């Protein structure tokens, strides 16, 4: 079977208005927008899946959808009850959209160990790894954004 490009595997998701709304969240991992985070995790998951001969479609879609949420619901006591954390919202959204169970499993387990369910497939481990690697990139990018904001509001900019 021909391996498609990352964008081909997630083409329908890129057109989804609710997923586009992820661009509005600007404080993901400090100062990143959530869409960029999801896109990067999906892309790295896709590349890792190709490298390790895993299912590139599942890895791309699960990576891209793993943080499909728009803020925490007040009744969800995340970190007090980890099973109520954000991955539950992403899981519901992806499930309602009709994603394959293997995609849903990778979304469900991407927050291990706090999510208390161990990834059990290659694709789920790939998404877990990609999310943690991109998390570090997000912090680096956020630091650059913070510095830029500081410089633009510094004494030179005010004079
Ligand atoms: Fe997450
Ligand atoms: Fe994430």
| CA 92 to chain CA centroid, nearest Å | 15
Name which residue leads in pLDDT, 71 or 36. Answer: 36
Residues 38-96 pLDDT 10s: 999 999 999 999 999 999 999 999 999 999 999 765 556 555 666 678 898 999 999 99
Q: How far is the CA of 57 from the centre of ligand 1 (A)?
A: 19
Closest ligand, as measured to the CA of 132: 2
Q: How far is the CA of 38 from the centre of ligand 2 (A)?
A: 6
Buried b (16+ CB within 10 A) or exposed e, 44-74: bbbbbbeeeebbbbbbbbbbbbbbbbeeeee
- Reported pTM: 0.90
Q: Is the model's pLDDT at 157 over the cut of 80?
A: no
Q: Is the model's pLDDT at 105 over the cut of 70?
A: yes
Q: What is the mean pLDDT of the chain?
A: 91
Q: How far is the CA of 119 from the centre of ligand 1 (A)?
A: 14
**In the numeric block, which tokens belong to residue 85?**
């954390």
pLDDT score recorded for residue 28? 86
Domain of residue 53 covers 6-153
Residue 31 belongs to some domain of the structure: yes
Closest ligand, as measured to the CA of 131: 2
Q: How far is the CA of 107 from the centre of ligand 2 (A)?
A: 10
Residue 1 belongs to some domain of the structure: no
* Average pLDDT rounded to a whole number, residues 137-150: 92
CATH assignment of the domain containing 24: 1.10.3210
Name which residue leads in pLDDT, 79 or 117. Answer: 117
Number of domains in the chain: 1
Q: How far is the CA of 158 from the centre of ligand 2 (A)?
A: 36
Confidence band of 27 (pLDDT split at 50, 70, 90)? confident
């Amino acid at each position: 079977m021909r391996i498609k490009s990352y964008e081909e595997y997630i083409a329908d998701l890129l057109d989804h208005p609710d997923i586009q709304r992820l661009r509005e969240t600007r404080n993901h991992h400090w100062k990143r927008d959530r869409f960029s985070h999801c896109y990067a995790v999906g892309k790295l998951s896709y590349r890792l899946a190709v490298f390790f001969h895993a299912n590139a479609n599942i890895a791309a879609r699960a990576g891209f959808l793993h943080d499909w949420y728009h803020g925490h619901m007040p009744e969800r006591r995340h970190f007090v009850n980890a099973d109520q954390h954000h991955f539950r919202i992403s899981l519901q959204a992806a499930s309602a959209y009709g994603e394959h169970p293997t995609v849903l499993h990778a979304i469900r387990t991407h927050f291990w160990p706090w999510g208390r369910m161990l990834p059990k497939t290659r694709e789920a481990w790939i998404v877990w790894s990609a999310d943690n690697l991109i998390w570090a990139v997000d912090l680096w990018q956020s630091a650059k954004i913070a510095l830029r904001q500081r410089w633009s509001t510094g004494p030179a900019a005010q004079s």
